[in-house]
Amino acid sequence: MDRLIRGIGMNDEIRIFSVDTTDTVNEAVSRHGAYPTAAAALGRSMTAGLMMGTMLKNEEKVTVTIQGGGPIGAIVVDSNAKGNVRGYLGNPKVHFPLNDIGKLDVRRAVGTDGFLSVAKDIGLKEHFTGSTEIVSGEIGEDFSYYFYASEQIPSIVALGVLVNPDNTIKASGGFIIQVLPGASDETIEYLDARAKEMTPVSKLIEQGLSPEDIINEAIGEENWRSLDEMPVHFECNCSKDRFLNAIASLDPSEIITMIQEDGGAEADCHFCRNKVWIEKEELQELIAH
């Protein structure tokens, strides 16, 4: 089972999130039928979005949208404080030859002309929103830039997804290390130096390293301690009632057209690809109200 750990380190000057999302991402990629490059982009985005969700509390949730102008279109990820995440992308049927360094060309698929946007629902009438430019299209660097530019939190974001020849996920996960206010220059310099020489996180997961082991690789076993851990998984909260509510917001003439032409309506969830058939009687009831 996938799990996430939260920790603190470097004299309590940093906070740490580390997660294995192999099963979680595999579930999403399977539902969307994503090709390898698109799968890597979706997996990286879901992994980062999942960790962002666990930075929240109680019923709070976050939606991340990445629109880089590339052929996969928008990537949308929903997650919450309980370790649940779901995601979709505009065009899952995108794949390219490996890039110059032999990796999936996520940058080309995502694009570099657009924005990473975050909307946090923290129980207030107005959502917290922030948006920053896409700086690399590789997603990890884009989240790092978002944290720094929008939330003023220097952060290292490492994300990795390895895709098998049959398009299933071999390994997926990542970590976020965030520098807390008052951290020393020495701590920041140490983190930078370690990040530059670290093995890619997907390789570490492929080798069977746990979220704890990966943090040990990142900053040294003696430099941090775990605070807690939680299971994480793909979960979609779509339901027939939600689809009915969405249809109810349409103009009555559109609902009448559904009844006359199709004898009902088929609703398709973007996130989980589940389809729900809505009978004409249910549609007629919506018009009556």
* Residue 252's CATH number: 3.90.1280.10
- Give, in degrees to the nearest 5, the angle at Cα 118 between 236 and 131: 155
- At residue 289 the predicted structure's pLDDT band, cuts being 50, 70 and 90, is low
Same domain assignment for residues 222 and 139: yes
Could you tell me if residue 52 is left (phi over 0), alpha (psi between -120 and 50 degrees) or otherwise beta?
alpha
What range defines the domain where residue 161 resides? 3-234
Question: How many domains does the structure of the chain reveal?
Answer: 2
Q: What percent of the chain has pLDDT over 90?
A: 66
Same domain assignment for residues 202 and 257: no
What is the structure's pLDDT at 13? 95
Burial class (CB in 10 A: 0-12, 13-18, 19+), 68: buried
What is the structure's pLDDT at 276? 74
Question: Can you give the C-alpha Rg of the chain in angstroms?
Answer: 21
What is the structure's pLDDT at 284? 74
Q: For the segment 269-284, what is each residue's pLDDT rounded down to a tens digit?
A: 888 887 776 776 777 7
Q: For the segment 142-155, what is each residue's pLDDT rounded down to a tens digit?
A: 999 999 999 999 99
